[in-house]
Amino acid sequence: MKKKIIIDTDPGQDDAMALMLAIKSGLFNILAITTVCGNSTIVNTTRNARFILKILDRNDIPVFSGAKKPLKRELIQAVVHGKSGLEGIDPENPAKLTNNAADKMLGLIKKYPKEITLVTLAPLTNIAEAIRKDPKTMMKIEEIIIMGGAIKVPGNKNRVAEFNIFVDPDAAKIVFDFPIKKTIVPLDACNNVRFQLKDLEKIKNKNLREILLKMNKPYIRNLKKDTGVKAALMYDPLTIFYLLEKNACGTNEDNVQIETKGIITRGMTVVDKRKITDGLIPNVTIVNYINGNRFRERFIDTLNSEWQ
């Protein structure tokens, strides 16, 4: 039986590649894709999600749009994805906003209690809104897998914070404090897994290969300007890969708290590294290592497989 998942996302080149990996793997029953502002506006992220489904011939997967701004703050968009969120492709299809992501998420969880894994590739605004609306139902999630955080490495949005947590730290705090099973895939596991254009040229499907190359050329260029990295960083696809091949990943458990009040430290994912701690019990599983070579093989093989 395929694992039931809901993917909450803000495409984004790496989000788009994560959707491709999840769908083409054929191993998930994707009940819905929910969209949120983050990498770009809610109009752009929803339009981009629908575009990816269209090119994969999976318009049967429902898309529900959600929050157009963080819980308490103004949206700070990503730079590396360009104005459209998918620079290089710049889709023009309609967004078809539904403005009901949290409600649809809750409805699916009620229908399939303890069966759904929630995969989040974006700021956690939609998830926090669902928790605030109906915490009893949200307790019936099997697990939430979060792309977010920076534990022992520098942030990619400020000195200490990863982008998704930085954009809406108030939402992140609600989610991290909520007593359900959580796993995070932070920058620690993502920073060393990178794609070059030559990797994407191994995709055999001509249409898919051209789309991947078009959207990753500006992504790599923008990442070089923004971070100094001369490659496409694979943040969100690694979250899907963790679900596919946990044996290729290393993990540990710890207690992670979210900084919401700091100016320099906004969105920091704080682990107590003292020898004598406050004794807080672990609230997340942290993915601290991912086998980059195995990810590269799995991604290319999956996208080269027959259409699912």
Q: Quote the mean pLDDT of the chain.
A: 96
Looking at residue 306, what is its pLDDT?
67
Residue 308 scores a pLDDT above 70:
no
Residue 307 scores a pLDDT above 50:
no
For 17-44, the pLDDT digits (tens) are: 999 999 999 999 999 999 999 999 999 9
Does the domain at residues 3-303 carry the CATH identifier 3.30.70.270?
A: no
Looking at residue 276, what is its pLDDT?
77
151 versus 307: which is more confidently predicted?
A: 151
3 DSSP β-pair partners = 28
Residue 194 scores a pLDDT above 90:
yes
Domain ranges in the chain are 3-303
47 is written with which tokens? Answer: 């339009």
Looking at residue 275, what is its pLDDT?
76
Query: Mean pLDDT across the stretch 134-152?
Result: 98
Give the residue carrying structure tokens 């993917």. 7
For 119-139, the pLDDT digits (tens) are: 999 999 999 999 999 999 999
Residue 59 scores a pLDDT above 70:
yes
For 91-103, the pLDDT digits (tens) are: 999 999 999 999 9
Q: Give the distance, in angstroms, between the CA of residue 213 and the centroid of all CA atoms in the same chain.
A: 21
